Structure 1
Amino acid sequence: MNNNEVKIKNEEFLALYRKIYRFLRNEWDPQKVTLLKNILGDSMSRASEMSEKEREEQLLLIMKTATIIMDEIGLKQPTVGAVFLFHAVTKGHYDISEVKDHFGEEVVTILRGLMKVNEFSDKKSAVESENYLKLLLSLAEDIRVVFIMIAQHLQKMRDAASKDQSIRLALSVESSYLYAPLAHRLGLYTIKSELEDLSLKYTDRETYDYIARKLNETKRSRDKYIQEFIKPVKERLDKTGLKYDIKGRTKSIYSINNKLKKQKVEFEDIYDLFAIRIILDSPPEREKAQCWQVYSIITDMYQPNPMRLRDWLSIPKSNGYESLHITVLGPQSRWVEVQIRTRRMDEIAERGLAAHWKYKGIKEESTLDNWLSTLRESLDNKEDDLKEKLGNFKLNLYEEEIFVFTPKGDLIKLPKGATVLDFAFAIHSKLGATCVSGMVNKKNVPIKHVLKSGDQVEIVTSPHQTPKQDWLNFVVTAKAKTKIRQLLKEEAGKQVDIAKEMLARRMKNRKIEQNDAVLMQLIKKLKYKTVTDFYVDIAAEKLDVNWIIDRYLELESKEGELREVPAPAPAESFVMHSPLQDLTTRDELIIDQNLTGVDYKLAKCCNPIYGDEIFAFVSSQGIRIHRVNCPNAHNLFSRYGYRILNARWSGHSSSNANYSAVLRVVGNDQINIVSTLMSIISKEEGVLMRSINIDSTDGLFQGNITISVANTQMLEQLIRKLSAVKGVKSISRLN
């Protein structure tokens, strides 16, 4: 590191130190702040396992995480104090019992939560199933632990630009699968958007740069349009005497990319690249009235789209979000989204639930209690399938909400798509277990009836009703799914005991001594996945007990014959059989840490080539290798992060290796241009043309050429040669 870099680093360190010091001094006395600084400094100097550079990086990470917590999330001194003390306490340089005396009980509570999560940090990924479970369990202690984790992960993502691709990929998967959904659920929309943008930047730089460049190119015209829209609005608002700010806000690169993919349109065809936000300085008692007053002014000036009205003023979202969203037809007949909210609402929208501490002076329990208690309940049953838990949790993070009413008029929030049975379980587990139908708006409906916002629901029960397996096919809430599984398991357990006793009694009556090994073989032969399923079918009389015993005796008889000892064979007749090898196994890839010789297939959706940045996905059909910028990558990261493995190419690709690639060619329809392209491809060493499909319209030709190449270097070299042909407008590789 040269002198200039050292100077910049020192200046950065001092600026952070001064900012944090001023923040802590607002609430804490100077002795406490000095003690905190000394504890961290002492702990860093004693960290002999770290190099000087690692100490510097760790210290900057701690300080930058603290500033995110202060400035971007808006938490108080105890949370920042916990971040500073964490290293010293976990390394044993400072005892947690001393923390309470010097810094208070709040700091101790947060530290304990952080230490609980840290127990699993030596694993290679925080989104491994077991780690994910422990992380969710830690939510029960103190939600500020999760805010710290999000802040630290955000800083790691900001720093990842200078890291290896494998580190960037791992962090991006964690962002998509865990931290962006958590930030979204906790209302940290700005942080969520940044995590998503950085994930896209690190996994598909080409798309990220394309959208960023397009936004930059259209900035002037966009700003001009925003001013054209805002000017008459400001004139009308000024006459009302309301205090307000009004601004245009461009959507995130990630959300624009989602629109491009979902709507299958060009960048120029996206109409809602930005939203207009009006923020009012309102007294608490006038907030809603003034927001609706602004709504009236806007809709008087511009034609609203009633289908796009979103009223989160009357009933806020469960994460505390309050705002009024309308879409109106602006100048040049362009649809424009307008968001109307107060200063308090805006801070909650930007900082999420953390902002409630500022406005209420206490933790905002009401909006988190239901979420956390449902989560804890779904984690209570240790025997449940872990992937099911994670799936239900993610479903509840993303689903839109509906609002329905009990017969007494109490409001119940449920995810969109919830049924009468979901409602019953939301009220009480016993009500759900005995539910036979529902009365929705005074009309009788079946239990699988899907509810809509505003419905009034009454549950009809029967003491003879018991949960059914098919209920799992239509309920959507985690609480309902978890409870139904638990009740089915309890019922199955009773049935298994009855069936076991019945089989044992019949065998005893026929004077047969039960051999568990033979019985297990029979169960396997009958193609049962579990012993429980076998006994449940006996209890349900799908299997006749006497028929089972007859099959058991046949199998036992065969086993007796097989156990006869064969005659010894002469040594010269012995042939050593080498283990069978799967011809699809290749050693060009290293998967996860240092695994080679693993069977895998290249994904057809993106056709990876030796040299591409790649990752491995553990599918139900085995391991599939995808490019990092595969069109399906984000979906895999966000839904199945626990199945993602690092992968990289090993050594050098074999000259005999053939990887498929499709080139998209666009050019002027000139004489011999296609034959020139084909000639170049045929002369290129190591490249084989497999198919060509060209169409010509209005003086332009465009089409796809499928080739086989050994690596990306060969492919790039070929693309350069083809691009140099006169008349070729563009050549790009298709996913």
Structure 2
Amino acid sequence: MPTIDDLAQSLSTYLNPDQINLVRRAYYFAEQAHDGQRRRSGEPYVTHPLAVARILAGMHMDHQSLMAAMLHDVIEDTRIPKQAVAAQFGEVVAELVDGVSKLTQMRFETRAEQEAENFQKMAMAMAKDIRVILVKLADRLHNMRTLGVMPPEKKRRKARETMEIYVPIANRLGMNSVRVEMEELCFKAIHPMRSSLIQRAVKQARGNRKELVSVIRDAINTRLREHGLEGSVTGREKHLYSIYRKMRNQHKSFAEIMDVYAFRIIVPTVDDCYRALGAVHNLYKPFPGRFKDYIAIPKANGYQSLHTTLFGMHGVPIEIQIRTQEMEEMANNGIAAHWLYKSEEEALVGSHARTRQWLKGVLELHQNAGDPLEFIENVKIDLFPDEVYIFTPKGNIMEMPKGATPVDFAYAVHTDVGNSCVACRIDRRLASLSQPLQSGQTVEVITAPGAKPNVAWLSFVTTGKARSNIRHYLKHQRHSDSVALGRRLLNRVLGSLNASLEQVPEERIYLLLKEAELASFDALLEEIGLGNRMAYMVAKRLLEQAPGEHKEQLDNSNAQQPLTIRGTEGMVISFARCCYPIPGDPIVGHVSSGRGMVIHSEACRNVAEIRHNPERCLEVEWDKQVSGEFTVELKVELEHQRGMVATLATAVTSTDASIEKISLEERDARFSVVELLINVSDRLHLARTIKRLRAVKGVNSITRTRG
């Protein structure tokens, strides 16, 4: 079993004696704190933090990270508080330890909520200091290596959590070695039979391929020497999970995947990378369209390399990666590679620069998320490994996840650009906002002052930033709309009682808020606007202790002025889909719990029973300046003719009305009925549209559906 002396010896290659002594001190402190505690395997608990520190030492991490690794379970699993750790080892180490520790003291409704809260806390600490996630990844990697003693169900749960959160994070930070090992261990825990079957098949295939691998390697080496290039050529092993994923996702057989031979060429300089590429392209013919230059345009996680695929002897496909030694370290260790090449301060700054954009995004997601579960969902969305590279009109490159749309791009540029986006140009042509973007496209976002995010965008955006910002805006919009409507409703009822909000004493409002257990008067107005509280009852409660004239007026509260509907109230006033009222129709407002106010036609059957209940229905009328588009349902009976639906659609759009939905049903051999949902501005606009439809040859009758 490795000891602290073994670790100290390996640290002596890159840390000074004082720093090694601090790591030793942290080990002895952890050993004392965990005294008597054992792992499920029966080993003393301190073997786990020591193993985590060894993983980080392999990445040449700084002494503070190693101390945090030694102490990462002290706050969580022993009675030693964060302050004691800070007093012994300094504030920086204490913050790292606290960031890695779970929230064990808090109570949660569900395990999912607890895990989300833990991840949220870790992400916030990680945004302050990237080393938090490096310690956490090393901790999780060692836990996955020692899963063997766990019960099968717990194994699977840990493996799924690792696969969903920690594997994508390792990938996002470019830590390929950690990612691959975690994937292999997760695959073994979730699908033990599949893992062992593929392992046996790989072993067998490796024996059969040995000869051809050495022939291709020798040919590449010879060609590099002929071009005066120094470089090492190694065969790349295919990992079990990678093989399984390709078989499952690409529907390929094991033989098809193993037929591809993969090699990596490591050369001294970037210039040599391109020269080596030319050399191998002279040796074997390249596959068209399979060359990728990640040196000129690195991946979002900092990965750099040249990729090409060649036709080898007898048409055997050969995949080649060409990179420098530093790129190789970066590919394997990602952010942690900074500690190999730079001093601690430079490494922290460098690694921060590498991930600053992503971590800034994580903080923004946290601010906009309603709860930890929404936050973790948005972060998972943002951890997609595949990227497309999009150009701004000025020629800057932006990385976006695969499947991203112009709306995602707009939010990636700036939140305000996303919120006010109305259209876009892709390669100088107008395009749909929901169109998935392709690498190399130039995207220009068109904005308009006063434009707002559309709830429909949530159905096609792919980035966490876009999704969380749209949700945040809509929540805020709904809140402000609800407060404004609540204020209008309450003022209207109070006005009918010869009172106003200004006349209600503050202590009366305070008492009502206390009774209703609400934090502010705006919260009360929001409840009224959403229909969760009746304005009539709130007014009654506010005035019941007032002088006598209010009480008399309250009993005769029939002379209420109708509430005016402008059509621009926002999300808390909606128009019923049963009777489709439009400006000019007599209307009534139904207060629906949680939805706010729903406007119905006066004659609508759905509100007939509660029509005269002042607590459920309100007198409303259209404002003289009403604006917006309103939906109407029409039934058009017409004779069968070729192209009739297109003729009707042309007639509707010629009057500046728009079609929301169109459906056709055959009534008999001669006639069909077309149901049209169209958007108009008022009854006059509807009359013009109906007149145009009547002029269409073959139209027999037109009726407006009113529920």
The two structures share one fold, judged by TM-score above 0.5? yes
Selected match of 2:347 from 362, 369, 387:
362
User: What is the alpha-carbon distance in structure 1 between the residues aligned to residue 293 and residue 458 of structure 2?
Assistant: 32
Could you report, residue by residue, the CA deviation over 1:617-670 in whole angstroms, capped at 9, with x for unpaired residues?
Answer: xxxxxxxxxxxxxxxxxxxxxxxxxxxxxxxxxxxxxxxxxxxxxxxxxxxxxx
CA–CA separation in structure 1 for the residues paired with 2:357 and 2:139: 26
Structure 2 equivalent of residue 485 of structure 1: 471
Where do residues 278-317 of structure 1 align in structure 2 (5 Å cutoff)?
A: 278-282=265-269, 287=270, 289-317=271-299
Alignment: residue pair count: 532
Q: Which amino acid aligns with 2:329?
A: E
The residue that corresponds to 1:329 in the other structure is 311
Is 1:536 equivalent to 2:573 in the alignment?
yes
Distance 1:121 1:151, change over 3 A: farther
Computing the radius of gyration over CA atoms, which structure comes out larger, 1 or 2? 2
Pick the aligned partner of 1:197 from 178, 184, 193: 184
RMSD over aligned Cα, in angstroms? 3.9
How many angstroms does 1:42 deviate by?
5.1
Q: CA deviation at 1:489?
A: 2.3
Give, in whole Å, the separation in 2 of the partners of 1:329 and 1:58: 53
1:235 alignment partner, SS class: helix
Residue 278 of structure 1, CA deviation: 0.7
- Give yes or no for the alignment of 1:218 onto 2:205: yes
Change (3 A) 1:411 1:121: farther
Aligned ranges for residues 103-502 of structure 1 at < 5 Å?
106-115=92-101, 128-272=115-259, 274-282=261-269, 287=270, 289-360=271-342, 361-363=346-348, 364-383=351-370, 386-502=372-488
CA distance in 2 between partners of 1:52 and 1:327 (Å)? 47
Separation in structure 1 between the aligned mates of residue 462 and residue 529 of structure 2, nearest angstrom: 40
Q: 1:414 and 1:397 mapped to 2: Cα distance?
A: 11
In the TM superposition, residue 539 of structure 1 has moved relative to its aligned partner by 12
* Matched-pair contact (CA < 8 Å) for 2:223–2:280: no
Provide Cα deviations, 1:137-159, integer angstroms capped at 9, x if missing partner.
Answer: 23212121111111111111111
2:128 alignment partner, SS class: coil
Letter in 2 for 1:303: K
Aligned partners of 2:12 and 2:20 also within 8 Å = yes
In the TM superposition, what whole-angstrom CA distance separates every residue of 1:101-143 from its partner, at most 9, and x where no partner exists?
8756653442342347676799967983333333322321212
Partner of 1:669: none
Distance 1:399 1:195, change over 3 A: closer
Map Cα deviations across residues 697-718 of structure 1 (whole Å, 9 max, x no partner).
xxxxxxxxxxxxxxxxxxxxxx
The answer to whether the 8 A contact 1:189-1:350 is kept is yes
Give the whole-Å Cα distance in 2 for the aligned partners of 1:53 and 1:461.
Answer: 59
SS at match of 2:236: strand
Identical pairs, percent? 27
CA apart distance, 1:296: 0.9
Relative to 1, partners in 2 of residues 1:223 and 1:18: Cα closer, same or farther, differing over 3 Å?
farther
Structure 2, unmatched stretches of 5+, are 500-524, 536-568, 592-601, 616-707
CA 342–152 in structure 1, closer or farther in 2 if over 3 Å, else same: same
Decide whether aligned partners of structure 1 residues 91 and 171 sit closer, same or farther in structure 2, where only a CA change above 3 A counts.
Answer: closer
Give the equivalent residue in structure 1 for 2:2: 13
Alpha-carbon shift at residue 305 of structure 1 (Å)? 1.0
CA distance in 1, matches of 2:187, 2:260: 18
Q: Which amino acid aligns with 1:492?
A: R
- Distance in 2 between residues matched to 1:347 and 1:92, nearest whole Å: 37
CA distance in 1, matches of 2:172, 2:386: 11
Q: TM-score, normalised by structure 2?
A: 0.67
- After superposition, the Cα gap between the structure-2 partners of 1:505 and 1:314, relative to the gap in structure 1 and judged at 3 Å, is same
Deviation at 1:54, TM superposition (A): 7.7
Residue 378 of structure 1: how far off its partner (Å): 1.1
Distance in 2, Cα, partners of 1:371 & 1:517: 38
- In 2, the alpha carbon distance for the partners of 1:337 and 1:94 equals 53
Equivalent residues in 2 for 1:553-592, closer than 5 Å: 554=609
**How much has 1:166 moved relative to structure 2?**
2.7
Task: Tell me how far 1:345 sits from its aligned partner.
Answer: 0.4
- Describe the SS at the equivalent of 1:74: coil
For residues 269 and 502 of structure 1, the distance between their equivalents in structure 2, rounded to whole angstroms, comes to 69
SS in 2 for 1:44: helix
Is the Cα–Cα contact under 8 Å of residues 250 and 275 in structure 1 kept in the other structure? yes
User: Greater RCO between the two (CA within 8 Å, min separation 6)?
Assistant: 1
C-alpha distance after superposition, 1:45-66 (max 9, x if no partner) = 4546635988844221111111
* Mapped contact 2:187–2:195 kept (Cα < 8 A): yes
Question: Contact 1:406/1:456 (CA < 8 Å) preserved in 2?
Answer: yes
Displacement after TM superposition at 1:79 (Å): 0.9
Q: Contact 2:38–2:45 at 8 Å: present in 1 too?
A: no
Q: Which moved more, 1:535-544 or 1:206-215?
A: 535-544
Question: Hey, what's the Cα distance between the residues in 2 that align with 1:171 and 1:518?
Answer: 42
Q: Secondary structure at the match of 2:264?
A: strand
Q: Which SS does the other structure have where 1:489 is aligned?
A: helix
Change in Cα spacing, 1:348 to 1:495, as seen in structure 2 (3 Å) is same
> Residue 82 of structure 1 corresponds to which residue in structure 2?
68
Structure 2 residue identity aligned to 1:334: V
Give the whole-Å Cα distance in 2 for the aligned partners of 1:296 and 1:225. 22
Hey, what does 2:672 align to over in structure 1?
A: none
8 Å CA contact 2:390, 2:438 repeated in 1? yes
Work out the CA distance in 1 between the residues paired with 2:33 and 2:461. Answer: 55
State the distance in 2 between where 1:495 and 1:126 align. Answer: 30
Q: Distance in 2 between matches of 1:518 and 1:308?
A: 56
Query: For residues 339 and 530 of structure 2, what CA distance do their matches in structure 1 show?
Result: 64
Equivalent residues in 2 for 1:37-52 (5 A)? 37-38=24-25, 40-41=27-28, 43-45=30-32, 47=34, 50=37
- Aligned equivalents of 1:516, 1:350: Cα separation in 2: 57
**Aligned pair in 2 of structure 1 residues 420, 220: CA closer, same or farther (>3 Å)?**
same
Q: For the structure 1 residues 91 and 217, does the alpha-carbon distance in structure 2 shift closer, same or farther, using more than 3 Å as the test?
A: closer
Q: Secondary structure at 1:264's aligned position in 2?
A: coil
One-letter amino acid of the counterpart of residue 390, structure 2? V
Q: Secondary structure at the match of 2:407?
A: helix
Deviates more, 1:88-97 or 1:493-502: 88-97
In the superposition, relative to structure 1, how do residues 88 and 499 fare at CA in structure 2: closer, same or farther (>3 Å)? closer
Does 39-48 or 370-379 show the bigger shift? 39-48
Partner SS for 1:306: coil
The question of whether the paired residues in 1 share the 8 Å contact of 2:168 and 2:385 is answered with no
State the distance in 2 between where 1:388 and 1:334 align.
47
**Cα separation, 1, equivalents of 2:129 and 2:84:** 20
1:380-416 deviation line (CA, Å, top 9, x unaligned): 02426x5544333223212422223333333322223
